Structure 1
Amino acid sequence: MFPGASEYGVDIAVDDAAVEDLLEVSPNDVDAPSALTFSRNVFIPLTTACRYTCTYCTYFDPPGQATLLSLEEVREICRRGADAGCTEALFTFGDDPDERYTEIHAQLAEWGHDSIHTYLREACEVALEEGLLPHANPGDQTREQMAAVADVNASMGVMLETTAEVGAHAGPRRKIPGQRLRTLQNAGELDVAFTTGILVGIGENWRDRAESLLAIRELHERYDHIQEVIVQPVVENERWADGSPDLATMRQVTAMARAALPEEVSVQVPPNLTPATELIDCGVDDLGGVSPVTDDHINPDYTWPALRELEEIAASAALPLEERLPVYERFLPPVLRTGGFDGRVADGAGSGGSDGSRDWISSTIRNALAADDSAGERYRAVLRDGTATVTH
C-alpha cells in the first residue's frame, strides 16, 4: 500500500512480479511511434500560491508575495492565444492556495468566491468565451472540488510525480502519494479525461518509478480515463541544485512508461526539458502542450521550443507531426471525431467516448466543439486535417 492510500480511500495493489518485469525493460523492448502529436496552448498561471514547499519548485511565491490573475488578465491571455491559433487554455495553480495564503483568500472573497475552485470555474468560462478549451491542472482535488469545474474543462490533470515519500517533498506541508492517487481516482469516478505523469530525479529509486507507472496503469484499467502520461525530469533551477537525470536514465524510464501503459495512453516528454529527439525511439508519441505566446511558468528558465523546432524533432525521427486538442479524440462522441462531423450535434450525442457509452465531455464542451464560429472551426480543423499547419 502506498503512503497515505488508506487514509484517502485508495485501494491499489501493485504486483511484485510486474514491478520486476518492468525493471527489466529497456528501449530495445518498445516500439517507436507512428506519429508525434502536440497541442497548441496558452499557459495561464491563475495564482503563484501553493500550500506545498517542494524543494525543486520555483513556481510558488511565499505568502505576501503571491499574485492572483484577474479575469480581465485571463481574458487578454486567452484572446492572444486564440489569435495565434491555439485551442487549449492550460490553467495551473498551486494546491489549495487559499488554504495557506490569507491575502489570496481575501482577494477571492472580495471577488465573490469562497474558494479557488469557484474562481477557476469562472476563469474557464472566460476561456470558453474567447474560443479556447480549458485544461485545468489545479493539483490535489477532492471529488467535490473536481466536480465543481469538470464540466467547463475539456480535460484535466495532475502530476502524480511519485508514489514514494521523498525528501524533495520535505516540510510541514508534504505531498502525500495517497492524496495524489485519490485525485486520479476522482477523475475516473467523474469520467474526466485525465493527464498525469511522473517526475524523475527527486529522490525516488527505480522500484519507485516502476510502482508509480503501474499504479497509474491500474487506475486506468479501472476507469479507462488516462489520456497521456508525462515523463518529466527535474531540472536545475534556483531552488534545485541536486542535478537532473542523465540521458540513459530518461531513456530507460521512458521505455518503462511505454511498456507499462496500454497503447491508447500516450507517453509524453516536455521538449523544453528533455532531449526529445533522443527519446522518440523509447515510445514517446506526444510532445505536450506548447505555447506560441506564453512562457512555461513552472519552468521559467526553460523556454518552449518554437513550433518550427517540433517539426525538426518529428523530421529527425521521420514521423509526421500532428496537432491535437487538449482532449484526446478517443474521448469525443462519434459525431465529433475525425470524418464524422456533419455540422450538427443531435440531442444525446455526448455519449460515445472511448468505451462507446460514457459521457467523457460535457454538453458545454460539446457545444463549443460544434459551434458555428471561428473557435468551433479551429477545433474541427485540428480533428479534420490531422497533420498540423505549423505557424512560425
Structure 2
Amino acid sequence: MAGAEIPGTSEYDFDLSLRDADVERLLDVTPDDVEAADELTFAKNVFVPLTTACRYTCTYCTYFDPPGEASLLSPEEVRDIVRTGADAGCTEALFTFGDDPDDRYDRIHAQLDEWGHDSIHEYLREVCEIALDEGLLPHSNPGDQTREQMETVADVNASMGVMLETTADVDAHAGPRVKNPGQRLHTIRTAGELGVPFTTGILVGIGEEWRDRAESLLAIRELHERYGHVQEVIVQNVVPNERSNYDRPSVKTMRRVVAMARDCLPEEVSVQVPPNLSPTRELLDCGVDDLGGVSPVTDDHINPEYKWPALQELEDIADEAGVPLRERLPVYRRYLPDELGGEPDGNEWVSGTIQRAMATDDEAGERYRRVLDAR
C-alpha cells in the first residue's frame, strides 16, 4: 500500500510509490542491523561561496543576507581562491550559493548584469570554467534548479548536489517563500534525467518526525534506482548558529538515522557525515564510509562557526576505526570512463569537457591520476 503523498510532488508530476511497509521496516532498523565500512573516503576541496544570498529565509541556515547587503565574488576573487586550492593539492572546487539569489536581490541581479550575465547560472558556468582552467574539478551546489538551469552548467561540473533535507512540510521551511520538498525532489530527478553524478542528503533536527526521515531516505533510494546517479547521501545534524537555536540531535538519534540510511541505500551509494558538524567517531560503526569534502585552505562558509578538521584528525578517526583513509575525487570512480580509471559505462556520465580536463598531462591531470591510482 502506498504511503502519504509528499508535499509538493503533485506540482512536479511525481509518483514515488513509497510503500507503508517499507517505511515501517526502515523504522525498525537499529545500529545493530548494519556493519561498519571497511574504509573511509574524503575529497580535498576548496570552498567557493559565490554569494550567501538566498531567496529563502530558513533560520537554521547561515546563507542569508539582508536585502541591500548581498554581494558576489568576482571572477578575479574566484580565480585567486581556486588557484590557492590547486596549489594546496585540492582536486575539487565546491561552488555554493543560496537558491536563486538573483530572483530576490536587486543588487545581485545588477552585478550579474554589469558582468554580462542574465542569470547566476550563466555566471556559475563562467566560474566553473575558471576552476577547470586552474586545475580543479567543479562540484556545484546551487540549491533548487530547473532543467534549463542545470543544463546550463552540467557539462562543466564533475558532479553536482542539493540537500533534500526532508520530505516533510516543517515550520523551519515556512515564511514568505516556502521551501517545497517537491521542488528539491524535482531537482534530484532532473539530475538523474540529465545523467549528472549527484550528492544529496537529509538534515536531522529541523522539526521532522522519524517517519519523515524514513520517507526521505526511501525517496532518495527510489530516485537512485530509477537513474543510478546518486553517489553519496549526507546525514547531517542541525547545529545552533547566530540566527537560530535548534537543539542538536543526540548521538543516539544520529546513530539510528545513519543506520537507517546505510540499511536503506544501495551498497554503491556512500553514507556521509560531515566531520566538522557530527559526532563522527561515534557514528562509524553505523555504516558511515565517507567524510565528505574537507578543505585545507578555506572555511566551511555554510557553517562558519564549525572549523574543518585537519587531515591528521581524519587519519586519527580512521585509525581509531581500524580502517584505511583514502582520498577520492568529487566524482566517484564508477561514473568515470574506463580510460580514466573508471568503468566501461562511465562514458554515460561525465562530459567531454570534464574528461579532457582529467586527461591532461599537466600538474592537474597528474593530481587527479594520483588520487585514482591510490585506490
The residue number in structure 2 matching 1:120 is 124
CA-atom RMSD in angstroms = 0.9
Tell me, yes or no, if the aligned pair for 2:192 and 2:229 is still in contact at 8 Å: yes
- Cα displacement string for residues 347-382 of structure 1 (whole angstroms, at most 9, x for unaligned residues): xxxx722xxxx5200000000110010000000000
Tell me, yes or no, if the aligned pair for 1:9 and 1:182 is still in contact at 8 Å: no
Cα distance in 1 for residues equivalent to 2:20 and 2:70: 43
The answer to whether 1:352 aligns with 2:345 is yes
**Equivalent position SS for 1:199:** strand
One-letter amino acid matched to 2:203: L
Q: How many residue pairs align between the two structures?
A: 371
Tell me the CA shift for residue 325 of structure 1. 0.1
Structure number with higher helix proportion: 2
Tell me, yes or no, if the aligned pair for 1:55 and 1:170 is still in contact at 8 Å: no
Match of 2:90 among 76, 86, 103: 86
Cα distance in 2 for residues equivalent to 1:371 and 1:60: 39
The residue number in structure 1 matching 2:359 is 370
The residue number in structure 2 matching 1:389 is none
The answer to whether 1:248 aligns with 2:252 is yes
**Equivalent position SS for 1:52:** coil
Cα distance in 2 for residues equivalent to 1:8 and 1:55: 26
Gapped runs of 5+ residues in structure 2?
A: none
Following superposition of structure 1 onto structure 2, how do residues 306-317 of structure 1 map, counting pairs within 5 Å? 306-317=310-321
Tell me, yes or no, if the aligned pair for 1:90 and 1:134 is still in contact at 8 Å: yes
Cα distance in 1 for residues equivalent to 2:63 and 2:184: 19
Cα distance in 2 for residues equivalent to 1:262 and 1:369: 28
TM-score by length of 2: 0.98
Tell me the CA shift for residue 9 of structure 1. 2.2
Q: Is the deviation greater in 164-173 or in 280-289? A: 164-173
Task: Could you list the structure 1 runs, at least 4 aligned residues long, displaced by more than 6 angstroms after superposition.
Answer: none
**Equivalent position SS for 2:334:** helix
Following superposition of structure 1 onto structure 2, how do residues 31-70 of structure 1 map, counting pairs within 5 Å? 31-70=35-74
Cα distance in 2 for residues equivalent to 1:185 and 1:10: 10
**Identity fraction in percent:** 73
Tell me the CA shift for residue 243 of structure 1. 0.9
The answer to whether 1:183 aligns with 2:187 is yes
Cα distance in 2 for residues equivalent to 1:300 and 1:242: 16
- Cα displacement string for residues 243-295 of structure 1 (whole angstroms, at most 9, x for unaligned residues): 11000000000000000000000000000001111111000000000000000
Match of 1:12 among 8, 11, 16: 16
Tell me, yes or no, if the aligned pair for 2:237 and 2:249 is still in contact at 8 Å: yes
**Equivalent position SS for 2:316:** helix
One-letter amino acid matched to 2:83: R
The answer to whether 1:95 aligns with 2:88 is no
Gapped runs of 5+ residues in structure 1?
A: 341-350, 387-392
**Equivalent position SS for 1:232:** strand
Cα distance in 2 for residues equivalent to 1:118 and 1:183: 18
The residue number in structure 1 matching 2:76 is 72
One-letter amino acid matched to 1:281: D
